[in-house]
A and B are shown apart, each in its own frame.
Chain A
Amino acid sequence: MGELQVEKHVKYILAVEKRKDNFESVVMEHLRLNGAYWGLTTLDILGKLDAVDQDEVISWVMQCQHEDGGFGGNIGHDPHMLYTLSAIQVLALFDKLHVLDVDKVSSYIAGLQNEDGSFPGDMWGEVDTRFSYIAICSLALLRQLNKIDVGKAVKYIVSCKNVDGGFGCTPGAESHAGQIFCCVGALAITGSLHHVDKDLLGWWLCERQVKSGGLNGRPEKLPDVCYSWWVLSSLIMIDRVHWIDKEKLAKFILDCQDTEKGGISDRPDDAVDVFHTYFGVAGLSLLEYSGLKPIDPAYALPVSVVNKVILPCRP
């Protein structure tokens, strides 16, 4: 098993951040703010966040904000919850949440809550538990959870629970590891994990590990590095992570590295991207791989960042 190629991954991420002309970055243009979050969080876990120009990033992030308080995926793109959370997370990484008009951003998010407690992604009404997570995570980071009806938000998430213990994007929708992370994460942040049947869900999640050691996102699907995050973080939040073989998973992730040019892919020998590089490194952090900063399984930010933002008594 190879080692984690820290230097190469750092170089890879810095290069992607800069490139704006190739096909890949054009296709990804609309979610550049997500990309920034993935890249920067990875750098922070690797202990290399200082390699980027903070001021440049923050000024660009703030240009993605709209009058209503929400953020678009890039300058000129419509506001959406997906990018609003990324903006908040990026600012938290730099300990710069104070540059935000907290009231405005939190009002944008809180204003989207539906009568039944659910959240749409934006004004166009696509309801999904992903957005419940985003609303709860964002508002918790801004210390504004009291702006929404948390009870109703939790009730809606619970209504998306399935008989296999997992969660779907709307009531009746199939369980999926990504969706499970969102729901379990939202329940964790709101102190509502008692709604999770930990043994049932834990078994479903630990059975995501396939022979190669990698994790898939649903039964009878292929393994993929991004599930190292979705499945692993969920297992950690419900204290069942010991039910998988952690060493084998670490090996699978390391096998997905591009040891020449840096970056991590979905499966061994596939093309790398920032998304999977982040999930691979974050997964290794959750596996307590040596030399990496620990990441928080619910807020998806380094533990040190979360503790600083959420715990009282800043020194």
Chain B
Amino acid sequence: MHGRPRKAPTLEEQEAFSVKASKLRSLQSQFLQFHHAKIYTKEALDVSAKLLESNPEYYTAWNYRKLAVQHNLNLPEVENNEETVKSILDEELRLVENALRRNFKSYGAWHHRKWVLSKGHSSTDKELLLLGKFQKADSRNFHAWNYRRFVTTLKNIPNEKELEYTTDMIYDNFSNYSAWHNRSVLLSHLLKEKAKGYSPKDNVFTEEYEFVRHALFTDPDDQSGWFYHLWLLDQTVKLETLLVSSWPPHGCNLSLSTDGSFGDCSLSPFTSLQTNTRTLPLILYFSEAVENICSSTVVIECENIASNELVWRSLSGDGAGSAQAWLTYLNFPEEHAHSEKAYQVKVSLAHSRGIFSSTGVHHGDSSHIEFSVSVPPHRSEHVDLNNEGKISWSDESFCTHDTQFLESALINLFHLERTKIDETVVDYQWNITTINNEISHYRELLSTMNCKIGKLTLARLLIAHDTLMSYTGTSHRNVSHHAEVLQLYDDLKKMDPAHLHYYQDEYSIVLLKQTISNQELLLKHCRKYRDPSSPRINNFCLRLNNLSLSRIGSMEQLLWVQVLDLSHNQLKTLEGLEVMQLLSCLNVSYNKLCSFTALEPLKLLRSLKVLDISYNEIGAHSIDTRRYLCSSPLNHRSGGDWKTEESEIHCVEVADNWEAYAIFKDLNLIQLDLKGNAVSDEKIQSLLIKLLPSLKWLDGESCR
């Protein structure tokens, strides 16, 4: 099926084929007769052997051989005769060897060999020799490599020795990805076991960096070392799981406003939250996905709040039990006092040994955050925050803030971000030196040669450097490498246009990081919503429109955002937005969202009221790339079990528009703009009006 030329066979060849075909057919039918009649005589065995030698893929014949072995080993004259047992099994090994010579990618043949050896009667001495032959002939054959791992386990060959084998194979040919792969597996084991000479990993990694650099510099176009280098880099940067940010932030004095008015206009979005209830979301954001955030791993000390009763949920667009961000709600009791009451809240990850992350590194011991919350006195009249007019996203609706106000608000933010949350001391010296060393090597490479992997690796190294610096707390935004990295990705887009969108996605993330981590730049994106009579909308808006963003990132810095304008970008996904628990108004019009399923992250946003998804590509594609990233019966995820019986929505309507149903049944919108998408028609509008009982404005028209 592979690599045969497409030419019509000559007459001679045709004849030869037809002879071969009839021979094979007769072997096959003879074999099946023996198999079905359970005949295991020498004659029958010969037929199966011949068949397998000419077609090792004929799996039923391998099964038959196993039945025959079992049958023959149980014969009374064989049972205790070690020599006969051995010869029966040796015959199988010989057959496998012949079959593999015909086709050494035959799954059935390799498995048969394992099956025979697992019986424990055969010598394993020859196995590595045999493998040597096969691996020489095809050093990338993954069956052979798998079999090698099987044999080395069986023979208890130490990982150190196998690691040497991969070194030899790689020196023999740098392009042997299979050897690089096996090296990563063996090294991971050795590091994990802290084997002698492999702990601490610093020295080992220094050598590995050199080794892979040698390969990459010899032939930068050969991909084999690329992924190994990226793994080393990842291991150098991912050191421990950190709590990187939270909302409310550490040290802030927050005011809840339950009557819908802001009162004091000096309240910034970073320190005030407007809410209809006395409920405050608390968000913890970690440096990587963690599991098991719960009342026993996170302790909250606050008067009137029972820490052990809090329910934590993961904020993951994938809806999993593992996430970077976690959410719980703090409920402040109804006070009858006439004055505002301030609560001190302390959140500690004191028992954090129970928190797991994918790297398996546990969170440091002593992290905690503290903030205070002022809750206004109880008021009897209830203000309906929903009973408001339409929000307009036009440029005229926004004006710049008074700079002084903004600066003070932002200084507050940056100050908070800089607060060191984790007090565990980790020595990053080796890591920083190593990355710096690598950076200078790759700069050197690029000075002699303009190569893609050189640029990409340098970009990654620079990002890694900035990340490490930020962990050490000595980070400085001024010395970060954002501009250089953006330039590298720009070059890559031109150099390797087939992967343009990969670089564009990476570019977007860095661009956003640059914008958000720089106070002056961020100021330029902050706007004030003009209509002060609209208490529904916090008048502080972050406008990240028209930036050609294809992806969003730096979410840990944006937990405070309540009004966000991402219009006129190139977003295909909203992944990441699920952590913006305060978001009430979102504009993603004029982007590249391809389906309703792309809105999945918004399902976790309880406070989202206004959504503009107009002028995207929803409904314009036959293949939905978010189909399996959205809860539905297709992926058997919780929330995917749909009960339509009780609603007024007909099930056919659901089947026809299941994507819309899957998303909007969990949203609570007041205003939605959908026009300018392939999908927007009357049918979908009528479904949406049924799905969203609180909806007042659809495509600019009142719909109630």
Contacts and interface: CB of A to CB of B under 8 A. Distances in A.
Interface of A: 21-23, 26-27, 29-31, 72-73, 76-78, 80, 122, 124-126, 128, 140, 145, 150, 162-164, 168-170, 172-176, 188-195, 200, 202-204, 206-207, 209, 213, 218-221, 224, 236-239, 241-245, 248, 258, 265-267, 269-273, 275-276, 285-288, 294, 296-298, 303, 306-307, 310-315
Contact of B626 (A145, A207, A239, A296): A239
A219 B1 contact: no
Interface stretch (B52-60, B89-97, B341-349, B363-371): B52-60
B145 A174 contact: yes
B48 interface: no
Contact of A191 (B57, B636, B651): B636
A236 B626 CA distance: 8
Contact of A192 (B320, B634, B644): B320
Interface string B269-302: 0000000000000000000010000000000000
Interface string B626-654: 11110111111110101010000001101
B3 interface: yes
B185 A162 contact: yes
A83 B149 CA distance: 28
B142 A174 contact: yes
A195 B628 CA distance: 13
Interface residues of B, number: 88
B146 interface: yes
A163 B184 contact: yes
Q: Chain A: interface secondary structure?
A: loop
Interface string B579-610: 00000000000000000000000000000000
Contact of A189 (B6, B497, B635): B635
B661 to A, nearest CB: 10
Contacts of A203: 502
Given A286-B623, A294-B622, A173 B111 contact: no
A34 to B, nearest CB: 11
A219 B25 CA distance: 38
Given A173-B145, A245-B500, A310-B633, 19 more contacts: A23-B21, A26-B24, A76-B36, A124-B111, A124-B115, A163-B227, A170-B146, A172-B182, A174-B181, A190-B635, A194-B289, A206-B499, A218-B177, A219-B223, A220-B140, A236-B625, A237-B628, A241-B625, A311-B632
Contacts, number: 228
Contacts of B181: 162, 164, 174-175
B634 A306 contact: yes
Interface string B162-180: 0000000000000101100
B540 to A, nearest CB: 32
A30 B58 contact: yes
Given A237-B628, A270-B4, A145 B636 contact: yes
A270 B145 contact: no
Contacts of B230: 164, 200
A265 B1 CA distance: 8
A313 B651 contact: yes
Nearest to B181: A174
A313 B145 contact: no
A315 B625 contact: no
Which of B111, B149, B316 gathers most chain A CB within 10 Å?
B111
B40 interface: no
A248 B498 contact: yes
17 contacts: A21-B21, A124-B115, A125-B115, A169-B146, A172-B182, A173-B145, A188-B628, A189-B635, A191-B319, A191-B631, A209-B499, A220-B140, A294-B622, A297-B627, A312-B644, A312-B651, A313-B652
A310 B322 contact: no
Interface string B112-133: 0001000000000000000000
B223 A220 contact: yes
Contacts of B115: 124-125
B635 A30 contact: no
A220 B139 CA distance: 12
A269 B5 contact: yes
Given A206-B502, A270-B4, A313-B654, A172 B185 contact: yes
Given A193-B318, A219-B223, A239-B625, A310 B634 contact: yes
A78 B184 contact: no
A207 B223 contact: yes
Nearest to B8: A261
Contacts of B318: 191, 193-194
Contacts of A191: 318-319, 631, 635-638, 640
Contacts of A315: 651-652, 655
Contacts of A271: 4-6
A298 B625 CA distance: 11
B548 to A, nearest CB: 14
Nearest to B32: A76
